Structure 1
Amino acid sequence: MSPPSLIPSYPEPSVSAPVALSYELFPPRNEVAEQTLWRTIHELESTQPDYVSVTYGASGSNRDTALTLLNRLLTETSLRPLAHLTCVGNTAEELAGIISELLDHGVRGILALRGDAPRDGGAGAGPGTLRYAQDLVELIRRVEQRRSALLAAGRVAIGVAAYPSKHPESPSEEHDVEVLLAKQRSGADFAITQVFFDPSRYADLVLRARRSGVTIPIIPGVMPLTSPRRLTRLAELSGVQPDVKLLDRLNRAADDVERRRIGVQATVDLANGALDAGAPGIHLYTFNEHGCALDVLEKLQLVRPQRSRQTPEAPRTLVS
C-alpha cells in the first residue's frame, strides 16, 4: 500500500487562462513586399502576441529570406518567432545544421512540418532524407539534447500541424488523428490547425483527438474571410471548401468596404465558435496584411495578459 501523498490538494483556479494569440507571416519576395511586411509587423507587435510564425518554402526554397526575417524579428522587435521548418527533400544532416543554427541564434520555437511533396515526386526518396513531420520532431529533440547546456537545460517549443478536414493524402480523418498522436509521442508540444470554415470541424477534431489520447493544445488556425479570390484559391489547393453562402455574399458586396465588413464578421464568428468549443488560442493567417487581422482582433475582445515591452538585444547576424 502506497503512503498518503504529502502534496496538498488544491482546487482548480477560478480565474480563466488568457487566450493565446499568434500570427503567421511569410518572408517577402521583393523590396516592396518587404516594406509592406514591416508595416504589418510593427502594427501587429502593438497587440503583444505570444509569438509570430515565419513560413519556410518547400525544400527550403526561401531559406535565406526566412533566416533574415527571423534574425530581424529577434533583434529589432519584441516578438517571439516560431520558425517553420519542412523536412521533405532534406537529409537529417542538413536539417540538423539548420536547427542548430536557429537555436544558436535565439529561436526557441519551431513548427515542424513535412512540407509539400514536389510535383515530380523525387524529393524525399533519397538516402538520408526525412519523410514525415514526426521524424523532424524527433530530430529537433536530438539536436536540442546536444545543446542542453546552451539552452540552460530548457526546452524548445515544437509545434505541428493538425487537420480539421482530412489531409488530401490521408486515407481517413482517423488516420490524421493517429499521425497527430504519433507526433505528440515524438515530442510535439502543441498543434496549429489548417484552415477550416465551420467551427464544428474544429470541435470534432478536438473531440476525436482527445478520445485517441492527444493531450497537447490544439490551436485553431483562422484565415480572414475577406477575399473571395483567396478563398477560392485555397479551396483548390487544400480541398477544403468554403461556405458557399459566404462566397456569394462576398461576391455580391457593393464595394471593398462592405466586402471587408462581411468577411471580418464571418471570421469573428468562426473564431468565437472555436473558442466556445474550448480553443486555447487563435492563430491568424495574416498573408502579411495587418488591416483585417486587427479588425478581427478588435471585435474578438480576447482576454489577454498585459506585458511590458522588452527592448531587443544588440543586433546579431544569422549566417545562411
Structure 2
Amino acid sequence: MTAPTTLPELERTAPAARRPALSYELFPARSDLSFDRLRTTISHLEATGPDYVSVTSRAGHGNLARVLELTEHVLAETALRPLVHLTSIGSTRAQLTAIIHALLDRGVRGLLALRGDQMPGHSLEGDEIPFARPLIELIREVERERTAVLAGGRLSVGVAAYPHRHPESPTTRHDTEVLVAKERAGADFAITQVFFEASSYCALLERARAAGVRMPIVPGFVPATDPRRLVRLAELSGVGAPRRLLHDLETAADDAERRRIGVRFTVDLATRVLDAGAPGLHLFTFNSHAEALDVLDALNLDRWSTTPQGDPR
C-alpha cells in the first residue's frame, strides 16, 4: 500500500485523535560492551514508535564522547529523534556554544536545557553559565546564527519542571517563577522530575497555568520495580516513594512478583495523570527496555486523545 500523496487521501487517513506523546530517557554507555546492550534496548523501544528519546549528559560534559556516540547511533541507525541534554554547570559559554554547533552539525534538532547537578563546594568560574534560563538564551542565539542550516526552522528546547519543590529552592512559588522565566527565554516544553502521586503533577500544572505558563508539561515516570533504585532516587531528588510500595516490593516472593507490583503501580499512576489531561508520558528507562515495555503493554495509549492540559474532563 502506497503512502497518501494527495490532500483528499491525507484527509481520509488522518487520525481523528492522536495518542499522547511517548518518549524515553537513555544514558550513554560506559563501555563498548554496555553500548552493545544499549543498542538492543534501543531497537526494542523504537518498535513502540516513540516521538523522541532523550540522551543524558553529565555536568561538565565529561562523557561528551559517549553522548555523541549514542546520538550518532540514534540518528544514523534508527528512525528516532534524539533530544540531547545540555547542562550548564561545569562548562563555559564558549564550550557550550561549541557543543551546540557540533550537535546541530550532526542533525540534532532537540535539546533539553538543564543546569545540572551542582557538586558540593562547586563555585562558578569565569564564563560558566549558572542556570538553565541563560542556557536557553544561548541556544536561541546559536539558532539565529544557524537559521540557514535549519532551513528557517527552530530547534525544540525542553526544560525540567518539578512537581515537588526543588531541593535548593526556597518555595514551590520560586520553582514556578523559574519555570515562567524558562518559557519566556524560549523553552517549548517541560519534562517533570519523578513523582509518585497524580495530585503532585496536577498541582504543578495548576500552579504553572495560574502563573501564565502555556507550554506542554510532560510527566516523567520511572517504572517502579526496583526498591534500591527508588531509594537512590529519593537520595538524589528528595522525593521518596510511598512506604507501602517499598514494603510490597521488598517483601515480594520473587523478581516476577516484584516486577508485577512495580508495573501495576506505574500504570495506575500514569493512567490517573493521563486522565487529568497530561499530553504524554516520558519514561526514565535506566537503559532497560523490559519494564518500560511492560508499562506500555498495560496502557492503551490510543484511548487518550491529546486534550489541552488543565481540561478537567
Measured in 2, the distance between the counterparts of 1:242 and 1:22 equals: 22
The 8 Å contact of residues 20 and 304 in structure 1, kept in 2 or not, is answered as no
Q: Which runs of 5+ in 2 are unaligned?
A: 1-14, 305-313
My pick for the range that moved more, 28-37 or 227-236, is 28-37
Q: Which residue does the alignment assign to 1:209?
A: 208
SS of the residue 1:303 aligns to: helix
SS of the residue 2:158 aligns to: strand
Identical-residue share of aligned pairs (%): 57
Measured in 2, the distance between the counterparts of 1:130 and 1:31 equals: 32
SS of the residue 1:230 aligns to: helix
The question of 1:187 aligning with 2:157 is answered: no
Measured in 2, the distance between the counterparts of 1:71 and 1:202 equals: 33
Q: Give the CA deviation at 1:304.
A: 8.8
- What does 1:11-50 correspond to in 2, within 5 Å? 15-50=16-51
Q: Which residue does the alignment assign to 1:160?
A: 159
Q: Which residue does the alignment assign to 1:318?
A: none
Q: Which residue does the alignment assign to 1:274?
A: 273
Measured in 2, the distance between the counterparts of 1:213 and 1:245 equals: 36
Measured in 2, the distance between the counterparts of 1:41 and 1:304 equals: 25
Measured in 1, the distance between the counterparts of 2:159 and 2:282 equals: 13
The 8 Å contact of residues 19 and 304 in structure 1, kept in 2 or not, is answered as no
Q: Which residue does the alignment assign to 1:285?
A: 284
Q: Give the CA deviation at 1:16.
A: 3.6
- What does 1:86-165 correspond to in 2, within 5 Å? 86-122=87-123, 125-165=124-164
Q: Which residue does the alignment assign to 2:66?
A: 65
C-alpha offsets along residues 158-211 of structure 1, whole Å, 9 cap, x if unaligned?
000000000000000111011000000000000000000001100000011000
- Using structure 1 for the length normalisation, give the TM-score: 0.89
- Paired residues in the alignment total 290
Measured in 2, the distance between the counterparts of 1:261 and 1:79 equals: 29
C-alpha offsets along residues 276-311 of structure 1, whole Å, 9 cap, x if unaligned?
111000000000000000000011111299xxxxxx
- Using structure 2 for the length normalisation, give the TM-score: 0.91
Q: Which residue does the alignment assign to 2:258?
A: 259
Measured in 1, the distance between the counterparts of 2:85 and 2:244 equals: 33
My pick for the range that moved more, 32-41 or 153-162, is 32-41
Q: Which residue does the alignment assign to 2:307?
A: none
Q: Which residue does the alignment assign to 1:317?
A: none
Measured in 1, the distance between the counterparts of 2:246 and 2:106 equals: 44
C-alpha offsets along residues 66-95 of structure 1, whole Å, 9 cap, x if unaligned?
011101110011110000010011111111
Alpha-carbon RMSD across the aligned residues, in angstroms, is 1.3
Q: Which runs of 5+ in 1 are unaligned?
A: 1-13, 306-320
The 8 Å contact of residues 193 and 219 in structure 1, kept in 2 or not, is answered as yes
Measured in 1, the distance between the counterparts of 2:53 and 2:271 equals: 21
C-alpha offsets along residues 137-171 of structure 1, whole Å, 9 cap, x if unaligned?
00000000000011111000000000000000000
Q: Which residue does the alignment assign to 1:82?
A: 83
Task: Give structure 1 regions of 4+ aligned residues with deviation exceeding 4 angstroms.
Answer: none
Q: Which amino acid aligns with 1:86?
A: T
Compare relative contact order (CA 8 Å, sep 6+) and give the higher one, 1 or 2: 1
Q: Which residue does the alignment assign to 2:235?
A: 236
